[in-house]
Structure 1
Amino acid sequence: MRSKTNFRVSFFLKKTKLLKSGEASVSMRITVDGQRVENNIRKSILPNLWDQSKERAKGTSKTAVDLNRFIEEARIKIHQIITELQQNGEEITPAVVQQRFYGIGQVRKQERTILQVIQEHNEEAEKLIGKDFVKITVRRYESMKRYLCEMIKEKYDVPDLPLSDFTGEVIRAYEVYLKTEKDLCQNTLIRYMKALKKITNRCIANDWIHKDPFAGIKFREEPTDPEFLTIEEVNRIYECDPGSKRLEVVRDMFLMSAFTGLAFTDVSQLTEEHIVTDNEGNKWIRKPRQKTRQMSNIPLLDIPLEIIEKYRGDKKAAKKGVLLPIPSNQVMNRYLKEIATICKIDKYLTTHVARHTYATVCLSQGVSLKNVSKMLGHASVKMTERYARVLDSSILRDMNSIRDTMNLGKPKKQKVKEESDKEAI
C-alpha cells in the first residue's frame, strides 16, 4: 500500500460567467498532493443561494436539496476512489481520480462520445459528396458539430460528453444555445436538429445508446414564403444586356434553372445522358435529384434548349464532363445581385429563387400539383404544396370563368351581342 495521500475536494461557484437564467455553474476541484483539476458538475444555482463557507446550497428547495445530496455523495465517492487506488498501488493524480469519478477508464472506458460519433459521420459524408451527399449538407453537419462543441464547453465545462450523458436535457440546452447565442431562426434551427437526430438514430441503430434522447421532443416548422419572380421579371432578365461575359453566363445559368426547376447542384451536374428524346421528338431532362435521388422528369422548353445549344462544346464545361459552364454557388449568388440591379429587380436573387420561380409559375398557370412535384423531383406532393401560392393572375383567371354567373340580374354581354346580330340580319 502506498503512503498516505493528501487530497481535498471542494466546491465553488463560477460567478464570472452567469448562465442566461442568472444562475452560476457549480464546479468541483479535486486536489491531490498539491496538484488539482477542476470541472463543471453540470449543476447550477443562484449566487445568493450559495454558502461558500460551507460549500453548500442554502435553503430547502428541491434544487438546493438535490445539489447538497450530490456534493455529499461526491465527497464520499472520491474518498472511496482514493482508498481503492492506494490499496491497488495505482497512480494517484487529480486527473485519474476525476476519470474514475465519472467512470472514464473503467466501465465507460470504451464508451463513445457524441462529438466523436458526429466526427466519424462527417468524415464518411465528406467521402460521399457527389454520391449520397452534397457539399451544403456536409457543411451543415460540420456547423452543427461546431456549435454543439461550443455549447458543451460553455455550459458543462468539458470538451465532450459520453453518449450515456447525451440526454434530452442536453438537446434542449442546445436548442436554447442556437436560439440565443447563434440567433438562428426556427426553421434553420430545425435543420440542425434534424442533422443531430440523424446522429442519435445512428447511435441507436448501432446499440451505442438504448434510449432515444429526442423522445418527447418535437419541433414545429414555421411556414415560409420563398422568394420568386414573376414572368415579367424573368423576361426582363432574359432580355437584359449584362455587359460582361461572366454576368452573361450567370444570367443564362439562372434562366436554365428558372425554366427547368432544377436546383443549382443538379444544373451543375447536367450531362448529355440526362437529355432524352421521346417517341414524338420532344426533348426531356430525366435526372435523379442529387439531394433526394428522386427522378425529375422535365419537358425542355425553347429557352433551356437554346441555352444548352449556346454552350455546347464549351471548354470549361467539357473539362468537367458536364453540359454547362456553371460557376460555384457562391459566385452565382454574388453576381446575381448585379443582375438584379441591372434588371431593376428589387428582390434578393439567389440560385434557389429560380427553382421557386419555376414551381410557383407552373402552379399559377394551372399545372397540376402532382405534375409539378414530379418535375421538381420531390419525394411527396406535400413538399410541393409550399409553392402553391395564390397569385393575382390565377385569381383573375378563375374569376373571369364565372364572371357571367356572378352578374345576377344583368344582361350577359355575349347574349346581347347575338341578339344585335339577329336584328342586323
Structure 2
Amino acid sequence: MKTRATFLRYAIKWLTLFLVLVIAPLGLAIIGHTEEYRGFWVEFGVALGFIGLAMMGLQFVLTARYSGIGAPFGLDELLQFHANAGYFAWGFIMGHFIILFLADSEFLKFLDPTVNLPRTLALSGAIIAITALIITTYWREKLNIFYEWWRASHGLLALFVVFVGTVHIMQVSFYVSEIWQQVLWVTMSVAAIGMLVHNRVWRPYQMKKRPWEIVSVTEEVDGTWSVELEPVGHDGMNFIAGQFIWITVGDSPFSLQQHPFTISSSAEQKNIQLTIKELGDFTAEVGELEIGTTAFLEGPYGNFTLESSTSQHNAFIIGGIGVTPAMSMLRTLRDRGDQREVTVIYGTPSKELTPFYDEFRELSAELNLNVVHVLEEPDDSWDGETGFIDEDIMKRHLYDKISSSEFFICGPAPMMDVVEGTLNDWGVPVYRLHSERFNIA
C-alpha cells in the first residue's frame, strides 16, 4: 500500500520545482542590476510580468506529455493543474499591465499606436490572445467550439503570447541588459516553442512509423461502441491496465483530429480496444468507422492503475463510460489469474444501458470480485441498488473495508464529487484515493 510519506514527497518535490522555475526569472533579473529603484508599485507590476511569462513558458512543459513529468499524479491531473496555472498566468500578465498603467501613466505609451505602432499591435494582440485562451478554454462547450479547432488555436495563441512577451522583455531591457540574460530568456522561449514542435510534429512523425488498423466496431449498448485496433507491422503497445491513449483516425497522424480515450482491453492482449460513448464531435460518428481504417495511437499515459497497489482490497466506484479503465484492470486480473479482492460499484441509467453487464457476471465467477450495480431507472423486476451512488450505498458495501482498501473513482463529475467527499469524510487518506476525470481535452 502506498504511504503518506511517499505521496507527500512527490507532491512537495514537483510543487517546489514548479515554484522555483516560476520565481527564478526574478532572481536572474536582479543579478548585476544597477538601475535606480522606481517605486514599489512599478517594481511589483514588473515582477508580475516576469512571473506570468515564466508560467506561460512552463505551460508548454506541462502539456508536453513527458511520462516523467508530474509523476505519480498522472497526465489527467497534470492537465488539470495546467488549466488552473493558465488562469493564474493570465492574472499575473493582466496585473502587470494594469498596475503599471495605474502606477505611472507614462507606461500607457506602450499601447499608444502614435508612439510605436508595431509595439502597440504586438502587446495588444498578446493581451487579446491570452484572454482568448482563457475564454475559449473555460467556455469551449458553451461557445460550441470544436475540440480540434480549439486545440490548434490554443497552442498557436500561447506561442504568440510567449514570443511577444520575450521580444517585449528584450526591447525594454531594464532588467535584462546583460547579454547572458538576453540569451537565457531567448533560450527558455525557444525551449518552450521546441516542446510544442516536438508534441505536434515530431511525435506524429514517429507515430506514422507505427500504424494501427481498425478490425472491429461493436455496439455494446445504445450509443456506446467498442473499437478494436490491431498493430500493423509492429509489436503493438505495452501499457498498464487503466491507462489511456490519444488516437488519430485517418491516413496521416498530422491531423487536428486527436482524441484521448482510456483503453478498455486487457494489458495481456496484443490488440487494443477502446470503448467510446457518443457525446458529440468525433464520438458522434464512432459507430460509422469502417473496418480496415488506419489509425495512429500515442501513449500510453496515466497513473490510474492497480500496478502499485498492494492493498488487501481495491474498490472501483464508477459511473457510465467511466467503466473503461475498470474493465481494462479486471480483464488484466483475469488474464493473469490474479485473485486479489475487488469491489465494483457501478452506476448506470438502466440495465439496458449498462456496458459489459453480462461480462461483469462472467468476471465475478472468475475473479474474487463483487459487483454492485446501481440503476437510476430499473424495471419492476430489479431487486438491487437504485438511484444514484451516494453515501448510504457506499456504506452498505464498503464501510467495513475502509482501512484495508484503495479507492478508484471514475465517472460523471457530480458522482465523483459525492464519492470523493464521502471518502474524505470517512478519513480515507489522499494517497489511497485515485480519481480520473474524463475532461482533460
More strand by share: 2
TM (norm. structure 2) is 0.25
Normalization by structure 1: what TM-score?
A: 0.25
For CA contacts below 8 A with separation 6 or more, give which structure has more relative contact order: 2
Structure number with larger C-alpha Rg: 1
